[in-house]
Amino acid sequence: MPSLILLRGLPGSGKSTLARVLSENNKYPVLSIDSYFTNAQSGEYQFKFDENYLAYQQCEEQTKASMLKACEKIFVDNTFTLEWELEPYFKLAAEFDYSLFVVTVENYHGQHNIHGVSEEQLLKMAAKYKVKLIP
């Protein structure tokens, strides 16, 4: 059965790095909201809050397109700090009969996020972060 693997965690936790490792050198698609804000040529990241909804939409559309291609594994790395951010992926997994895995990535390596998210904002995000350990 094909698998949809959602990698979630705060900025700087290593989600994107882990996704690249698990994708076996891009054998499987790695999708992220960050892709929307990253210049394809320069690799420069420039977040635009007023376009954030477009980034979410693009990531969901790319996930669906990968499922339509019957990709064996699909990795999506986003913060997923709030339940509503996960829900569209739960629906896609059910619609396309994908096994769903939600993996929380923690920052044990002590690295900082590359997006310039402040310590104050990270603490706010962490306060909203919920982990579902029991059904």
Instruction: Print pLDDT tens along the chain (135 aa).
Output: 999 999 999 888 889 899 999 999 889 999 999 999 998 899 888 888 899 999 999 999 999 999 999 999 999 999 999 889 999 999 999 999 999 999 999 888 777 777 677 788 888 888 888 888 777
**3-state SS record for 74-95:** EEEECCCCCHHHHHHHHHHHHH
Residues 6+ apart with CB under 8 A from 55: 33, 34, 35, 36, 37
Distances (CA, A) of 124 to 63, 64, 98: 28, 31, 32
Q: Return d(Cα 80, Cα 69) in angstroms, integer.
A: 24
Q: Which ranges of the chain would DSSP assign to H, the alpha helix?
A: 15-22, 52-68, 83-95, 119-128
Q: Domain count for the chain, please give it.
A: 1
Q: Within a domain: residue 134?
A: no
Question: Residue 134: its pLDDT value, please?
Answer: 78
Q: Within a domain: residue 73?
A: yes
Q: Within a domain: residue 104?
A: yes
Q: Within a domain: residue 99?
A: yes
Q: Within a domain: residue 26?
A: yes
Domain containing residue 59? 3-128
Q: Within a domain: residue 71?
A: yes
CB 125, CB 9: distance < 8 Å: no
Q: Within a domain: residue 95?
A: yes
Q: Within a domain: residue 93?
A: yes
CATH number at residue 104: 3.40.50.300
- Give the strand order in the sheet containing 3-8: 30-31, 73-77, 3-8, 99-104
